[in-house]
Structure 1
Amino acid sequence: MKNHFLTRFIAGLFALLANSLFCGIGILLVGTSQSILSLIFATIIIATGFFLGYKIYRTALSRGIISFMTSVIASPDLDNLEPSVNSNHKKYDILQFISAFQKKENLFPKGTRLRVWGNYKFPGFNSYHEIESVQSPDKNLLEISFRDEKSLKIWNPQYILEGKSYFKIVNCDKVEWKDTNTSDDKPVTALFELKNNHIKVATQPNIPVSKDSFQPGEPAVILL
């Protein structure tokens, strides 16, 4: 109960900060020019602040504060930057990442939760997994195996990035998720493929999938 209250409190602070910024801009606009046009613009800005604050609050609650903050840290602004020697993030191709993992030179810890094109609600994604091994069985294929008998296959990954709190693949052609450690001993296999700016999902018919929960503009894979 205490943790739940703390989560709501911190999420509320994030929302309040965003809302206060927009409200401040709106009030400043009215104070400098008291015309009808300024009042209309100020009203729009303040309303946008309330909407944005609400969205931040709901997102922080649904993802959890830690996941929300680390996903902000793992922002797309870093995607096109070439890391320096002492940088707090690294950029790899497939073989470079496998080599860094095997030599224990990678930055990201082994424990992780998963997002695929922004989706964190698919069965198994939001559970805690520990990376056991990484390999490349075929050219342009990265396979990540977890200790809880789950695995990811990522075809043609581009911009493989990692920091101390995230591992991210910005683009890829498709992702396969496999879970052989299920309560009914029936393996779950799902294939997520980006086509024409839409995510195509192929999985067992008994698994409900909301395509609206996938966002093509989000990174293809994030481990947090």
Structure 2
Amino acid sequence: MNVFKILFACIQALLPLIGFGFIALVLYTEILPPFHIIGAIICVGLGLYLSWFVFNMINRRGAITTMSGNNASYDLDDLEPTPGSDFIKLSPKLLTEGFKENKFFFKMEVTVSIWGDSIGKKLNDKHILKSVIYKEETAILILEFYDDCLLKIKKPGVIYYSNNYLKIIHAREILWQITGKTKSFYQYSYLNTGKTIKTKSNTNWKSHPYDFGIGMNALYLQG
């Protein structure tokens, strides 16, 4: 998998370099001196920078995550489920009621992804849901796990459930809380500003822009 990821990253990183290299060649041959050299150098520089950016993003986030990240569209997810569909559409209230009635897969172990961020901070550990609470007055959905991890989703949007995942398409803010070795609480906040995801924490964690994308599902629980 790592070999494939690196190979894919190299191929994708070459594309902007080739494109800007072609533009540089055209500028060099068509523009009068000394501007032809200046234009060519600028284009090659832009190509190198974009290639470096693409390679590092894919190498950190993975090929599939990168392709679906910042510019993803979830129009297909907004379609109404049809008879025979392998997923159902839920509101936060219906999700809460379904958990209480033990209708869904929630006794299975799941991993957590928040706007694509799924590595470290116990996100990629296996968790089992303990309770689901929706506070209508504040529009906050609370998911508590047996290992003392906690999710608070403010203003959750459309929710979809299938046999192996649960995802929330949009949200205003998501708080991920875990328990440390000394039973202290570590919190990681992801705020959707409409243009980007702003993060903060009561730890020394510093988020990396390649770790998540605003175009991805706000929350994804993978069974």
Inter-partner Cα distance in structure 1 for 2:100 and 2:63? 34
Inter-partner Cα distance in structure 1 for 2:182 and 2:207? 19
Inter-partner Cα distance in structure 1 for 2:135 and 2:219? 19
Moved over 6 A (4+): none
Is the contact between residue 93 and residue 159 of structure 1 (CA under 8 Å) also seen in structure 2?
yes
Aligned twin of 1:179 = 178
Cα distance change, pair 133–110 in 1 and its aligned pair in 2 (3 A): farther
Aligned residue pair count: 171
Q: Please tell me the residue identity of whatever aligns with 1:143.
A: I
Question: How many percent identity over aligned positions?
Answer: 24
Structure 1 portions without partners, runs of 5+: 1-6, 20-50, 64-74
Inter-partner Cα distance in structure 1 for 2:106 and 2:161? 6
Q: Please tell me the residue identity of whatever aligns with 1:210.
A: H
Q: Please tell me the residue identity of whatever aligns with 1:170.
A: I
Structure 1 residue matching 2:182: 3-state secondary structure:
coil
Inter-partner Cα distance in structure 1 for 2:219 and 2:147? 19
What does residue range 45-84 of structure 1 map to in structure 2 within 5 Å?
59=62, 76=74, 78-84=76-82
1:206 aligned to 2:209? no
Structure 2 portions without partners, runs of 5+: 13-53, 66-72
Structure 2 residue matching 1:129: 3-state secondary structure:
coil
Is the contact between residue 99 and residue 106 of structure 2 (CA under 8 Å) also seen in structure 1?
no
Inter-partner Cα distance in structure 2 for 1:175 and 1:138? 16
Aligned twin of 2:69 = none
Q: Give the TM-score, by structure 2 length.
A: 0.65
> Deviations along 1:119-152, whole A, 9 cap, x unmatched?
1124111111111110113432110000000110
Q: Give the TM-score, by structure 1 length.
A: 0.65
* Max Rg structure: 2
Inter-partner Cα distance in structure 1 for 2:102 and 2:141? 17
